[in-house]
Amino acid sequence: QVQLVESGGGLVQAGGSLRLSCAASGDVSRYYTMAWFRQPPGKEREFVATFRRSDLSTYYADSVKGRFTISRDIAKNTVYLQMNSLKPEDTAVYYCAFDNSRLITSSVRVGENYDYWGQGTQVTVSS
């Protein structure tokens, strides 16, 4: 079993920044994949970014590329999502997702491939 604890989020004006964090604990392997997804109000969940522990790869959704950065503290099994130049359309509940395996590149953007999910944290960007 793996437990995820998310923190961060909140209300920010457009153009501002926020940082989310997600710490994994429990039976964490050395080959995990950890990601961020979000669900805007009234919309379906969508992929944001992912970090793959096995080769330190990162992947981003086109909508956040250049504005968001996923980073990690491997010793703490923690990933961060630094969100800059926030836009009102970034408003969503952000979820941390975790899988204890090395997901192949074509799979990292699919939420169903992750076994564990955080509780979600609200990010609201005002215009």
User: 49 with 35: CB under 8 angstroms?
Assistant: yes
Neighbours of 110 (CB within 10 A): 12
- For residues 108 and 90, what is the distance between their CA atoms, to the nearest angstrom? 20
Which of these, 18, 46, 24, lies nearest to 118 by C-alpha position?
Answer: 24
Q: Strand ranges (DSSP E) for the chain? A: 2-7, 10-13, 18-26, 33-39, 46-52, 57-60, 68-73, 78-83, 92-99, 116-117, 121-126
Reported as a pLDDT band with limits 50, 70 and 90, residue 12 is very high
Residue 78's pLDDT is 96
Q: Which residues have C-beta within 8 Å of that of residue 47, sequence separation ≥ 6? A: 35, 37, 61, 108, 109, 110, 111
Residue 92's pLDDT is 98
Residue 53's pLDDT is 93
Reported as a pLDDT band with limits 50, 70 and 90, residue 25 is very high
Residue 10's pLDDT is 97
Residue 75's pLDDT is 92
pLDDT tens string 28-85: 998 999 999 999 999 999 999 999 999 999 999 999 999 999 999 999 999 999 999 9
CA dihedral over 80, 47, 33, 93, signed as positive or negative: positive
pLDDT tens string 70-108: 999 999 999 999 999 999 999 999 999 999 999 999 899
